[in-house]
Amino acid sequence: MVLEALPEFVKFAAEVADKVRPISLKYFRAKSAIDVKADGSPVTVADRECELAIREMLSEAYPSHGILGEELGGDASDRRYAWIVDPIDGTKSFIAGAPTYGTLLALLYEGSPVLGVVDMPALNERWIGVHKQPTTLNGRPVRTSACSALGDAMVTIVSPDNFDPNELRTLKHLVDLTRIRRYSSDSYAFGLLASGHVDIVVTAGQKPYDFLPLVNVVEQAGGCISDWKGKKLGLDSDGRILASANHRLHEQGLSAVRT
């Protein structure tokens, strides 16, 4: 049933992203109050207002579906269908006026992601990944790069502040094996991987709403994404994420982080 219903869900997810874009842009590069959550991370009125708008649309359209969001929580583990929401991924970038913040949305079917949206309001770019369909950027199919050797790869490290000392040592081992390294704080890096601009993305300390929307965006563009042990990503994943342009490169990356 899920495959037959996917076109409806894809259309709806795009409508959600369309509605939320102007909300975040209204506050982007504006002077807004910044609060600090219990975990020390910042949150703005844009985060909360965007998530409320998304939840309102989801609850009205699919009242039986679960919802798990960054700002308002929820439970996605006991529903056949569940939506995963990160209203402003990259809140620090948003606060700093950097256009690489995004809105992330995923649909899970029986615990597995079947749809993902990475929407970048300030850049007018939107990746949509759908189970067994090509990933698109603004409606056009995209593919990951053909890079198949770690020594030729460009690696992007997302949110290095999230790495603990052991993870930082592992990270250094990986990046020392690559050709070019760069740093990012947002999900935008995974969109760039899906479009073939970077070859590997590595991060740690992530939550389900940070990584589940990325799964189909990466995989349906030809890439691989997993935890550092090579396991598929789910609600119970440990938040250490490795994404690569293809299977061969992914195996090399996994070998490096396992060392």
Q: How many residues does the chain have?
A: 259
Say whether both 48 and 71 belong to one domain: yes
Q: Categorize the per-residue pLDDT at 71 as very low, low, confident or very high, splitting at 50, 70 and 90.
A: confident
Say whether both 21 and 77 belong to one domain: yes
Mean pLDDT, range 14-38, rounded to an integer: 89
Say whether both 117 and 163 belong to one domain: no
Q: 121 with 102: CB under 8 angstroms?
A: yes
Residue 84 has pLDDT above 60, yes or no: yes
Residue 236 has pLDDT above 60, yes or no: yes
Model confidence pLDDT, tens digit, residues 87-117: 999 989 999 999 999 999 999 999 999 999 9
Model confidence pLDDT, tens digit, residues 150-181: 999 999 999 888 899 999 999 999 999 999 99
Say whether both 11 and 137 belong to one domain: yes
Task: Find the CATH number of the domain harbouring 120.
Answer: 3.30.540.10
Q: Among the listed ranges 32-36, 203-207, 217-221, which one has the minimum average pLDDT value?
A: 32-36
- Token pair, residue 63, equals 């009242």
Query: Which comes out higher in pLDDT, residue 186 or 22?
Result: 22
- Token pair, residue 213, equals 């929307």
Residue 35 has pLDDT above 60, yes or no: yes
Segment (H or E) for 249:
helix 247-258
Segment (H or E) for 254:
helix 247-258
Say whether both 157 and 249 belong to one domain: yes
Say whether both 119 and 155 belong to one domain: no
Query: What do you get for the CA distance between the two ends of the chain, in Å?
Result: 42
Q: Return the residue matching tokens 């309001």.
A: 121
Q: Which of 229, 196, 195, 190 is nearest to 211 (CA)?
A: 190
Say whether both 6 and 131 belong to one domain: yes
Last residue of a domain, one of 141, 166, 190: 141
Say whether both 176 and 130 belong to one domain: no
Query: Which comes out higher in pLDDT, residue 13 or 37?
Result: 13
Say whether both 59 and 162 belong to one domain: no
pLDDT > 90 fraction of the chain, expressed in percent and rounded: 82
Q: 176 with 209: CB under 8 angstroms?
A: no
Mean pLDDT, range 58-71, rounded to an integer: 93
Q: Categorize the per-residue pLDDT at 231 as very low, low, confident or very high, splitting at 50, 70 and 90.
A: very high
Say whether both 223 and 105 belong to one domain: no
Last residue of a domain, one of 124, 141, 158: 141
Task: Find the CATH number of the domain harbouring 206.
Answer: 3.40.190.80
Say whether both 170 and 220 belong to one domain: yes
Residue 43 pLDDT? 79
Last residue of a domain, one of 112, 141, 170: 141
To the question of pTM greater than 0.85 for the whole model, the response is yes
Please state, in angstroms and rounded to a whole number, the distance separating the CA atoms of residues 199 and 184: 14
Measured CA angle at 131 (ends 142, 158), to 5 deg: 60
What single-letter amino acid sits at 114? V
Torsion-angle region of 31 (φ positive above 0: left; ψ -120 to 50: alpha; else: beta): beta
Residue 166 pLDDT? 94
Residue 204, SS3 per DSSP:
coil
Q: Categorize the per-residue pLDDT at 140 as very low, low, confident or very high, splitting at 50, 70 and 90.
A: very high
Residue 5 pLDDT? 79
Residue 184 pLDDT? 85
Residues facing 145 on adjacent strands: none
**Average pLDDT value over all residues in the chain:** 93
Residue 14 has pLDDT above 90, yes or no: yes
Q: 90 with 187: CB under 8 angstroms?
A: yes
Instruction: Tell me how many domains the chain contains.
Output: 2
Say whether both 137 and 159 belong to one domain: no
Residue 2 has pLDDT above 70, yes or no: no
Query: For residue 238, what are the domain limits?
Result: 150-258
